[in-house]
Structure 1
């Protein structure tokens, strides 16, 4: 079957690879290349690089709304369009083109966590499981009928990166299964319960700042939920400190204020007083420095007892 693929980041590559091995991928639509601010070099996006490596035509329109892409897609005449983290809203005029429609791979168990950053949100909110949903695209964001879902456990040590890599492979498996069902005419169309929908907006810088007033568990989940991207931060002596790892200390300190470094644990890192106890900073990056372990933060005097994190 003739499949047109729309996607951009690394998360989409396993899905594209599965479609290329099992079907005929007639073209790839991806976002415009990024230019490196320092060297001015163009960095090819992962999906584009896959297309180049496998001799698949790559299209990079800046907009889908001026009619040009609609005309191109009608000429390509795909049986099915597969969308995986493309990053653009698909107009209804394009949704209506393929014989079998347009389907999307979404990294949550819909209707929970529609929108951006669903992987981060699942960890930050302390979910014990998440998964991938294969659904038909509708005009409303992530509101289309569901074909199938696949679940996975979120472990206590899970970070955004580890869960991201787990879900991208699960997504490829689920997509292959769903596409086979579609072409066989055996796929269900399960209407979402829209009253249960929750939404995740893109992160703004202020959303990434650690709130030391929160509990040990909340801070632990927050930090690992955005590790290594987009990454939590705090400020120390008016300089940014990126926080990549914390450990629940399970100890309450009477002395000091919330956010203050009240102790240190040898070989582990500085201890920060939080809303219901304390946490140990185990991995962080001082401004203009490399990422350091908690122990190295202490040994290098980057963080001292009595200092306040804001």
Structure 2
């Protein structure tokens, strides 16, 4: 009886990692899907992005075959081919899929991409939306093709960005939307009622791989841009500057636009008040509320300054 039920279910291979992957996986309808395997990153190849630094948090009591990999070897190619899934679902996986993966499932490979494709293709759509100061972004479920994030759109929904969101908060909202709509999207693929919308490739924009030094503050930037970087890079690499030749990581901050702050250098620390440590920018003040000096612990602004009285007469760079 159980065997017959499983035979009637759609065989799904899931590829995903971390918080976002877990969110999507735990929404899969196991009454409709037979999850024949999970491919996730091995601990030896965990991303620097904290969102990807944890294994899948699987809430189901069912036993699943889990394959932890750091690259696609001939052995894993054979194993995935033998599994013969009907469909592969990819969510926040973090490894580039070799072309042969696309040919394994008869219903295709489905990927969740957190942007309104064709906008923001590539590795950092969430951070890029915040960094660009966008008010609207969204999430797309697409059928994967060889070209990066260029496949037909199966589902897409807009999302208004809360101006206070950092990258993790925005990512959670976008992947929740995708997770809630994934089951119905796949069911439409199975019954051939899905509407596939080709992307307009002439409208495509691309994001870049985020690097560690992207988090370094340029005090010649506007305060608004500095705060957008703070939110965009909240997961990795964080926002930082230098003081006394040590990295100073900004843990909590806000910006206030102010004019006519004259005779002061950008990056100069002006004062400590109840809003935090005031640092001059070209268009106002960054108030640092909590921070962490390289090798030290996270401290609120007043406690940090109390132990370092010379800090208030210095410049950040």
Is TM-score (shorter-chain normalized) higher than 0.5? yes
C-alpha spacing 1:303/1:119, structure 2 compared with 1 (3 Å):
farther
2:217 is aligned, of 199, 210, 213, to 210
Change in 2 beyond 3 A, CA 1:228/1:60: closer
Aligned partner (choices 239, 253, 267) of residue 259 of structure 1: 267
Matched, 1:73 2:70: no
Provide TM-score, normalisation by structure 1: 0.89
Residue 33 (structure 1) aligned to one of 43, 51, 74: 43
Equivalent residue in structure 1 for 2:156, among 146, 149, 155: 149
Shift of the 99–228 alpha-carbon distance from structure 1 to 2, 3 Å rule, reads: closer
Cα distance in 1, alignment partners of residues 252 and 263 from structure 2: 24
Number of residues of Structure 1 aligned to a counterpart in Structure 2? 301
**Conserved? CA contact 2:117–2:140, under 8 Å:** yes
- Among 274, 288, 292, the alignment partner of 1:285 is 292
Give TM-score, length-normalised by structure 2: 0.87
How does 1:154-173 map onto structure 2 within 5 Å? Answer: 154-173=161-180
Deviation for aligned residue 1:120:
1.1
One of 107, 111, 121 as aligned partner of 2:114:
107
- 1:50 maps to which residue? 58
- Relative to structure 1, the CA distance from residue 303 to residue 176 in structure 2 (aligned partners, 3 Å threshold; closer, same or farther) is farther
1:193 to 183, 188, 200: 200
Residue of structure 2 aligned with 1:61, choices 69, 72, 79: 69
Q: What CA distance in whole angstroms lies between the structure 2 residues aligned with 1:79 and 1:51? A: 23
Cα deviation, 1:145-167, whole Å, max 9, x if unaligned, reads 11111222211111112112222
Between the aligned partners of 1:230 and 1:237, the Cα distance in structure 2 is 21
Contact conserved, 1:28 with 1:51, CA < 8 A, in 2? Answer: no
The alpha-carbon deviation at position 216 of structure 1 amounts to: 1.8
Q: Which moved more, 1:26-35 or 1:127-136?
A: 26-35
Deviation sequence 1:49-86 (CA, Å, 0-9, x none): 5399641001123432x443332222212111001121
Shift of 1:228: 4.0
1:10-44 CA-partner distances (Å, limit 9, x unpaired): 111121112253421110011222389xxxxxx98
Q: How many Å apart are 1:242 and its aligned residue?
A: 0.6
**Aligned pair in 2 of structure 1 residues 100, 303: CA closer, same or farther (>3 Å)?**
farther
Q: Is the 8 A contact 1:269 1:297 kept in 2?
A: no
* Cα separation, partners in 2 of 1:287 and 1:62, compared to 1, 3 Å: closer
Secondary structure of 1:175's counterpart equals helix
1:256-292 C-alpha deviation (Å, 9 max, x unpaired) = 211111233x222111111222221122212222222
- Mapped to 1, the partners of 2:108 and 2:192 lie a distance apart of 13
Aligned residues of 1:286 and 1:302 also touching (Cα < 8 A): no
CA distance in 2 between counterparts of 1:44 and 1:54 reads: 23
Structure 1 unaligned blocks of 5 or more? 37-42
Residue in 2 aligned with 1:273? 280
The 1:297/1:268 distance shift into structure 2, 3 A limit, reads: farther
* Equivalent of residue 176 in structure 1, options 183, 190, 204: 183
Q: Aligned pair in 2 of structure 1 residues 282, 233: CA closer, same or farther (>3 Å)?
A: same
Alignment match, 1:88: 95
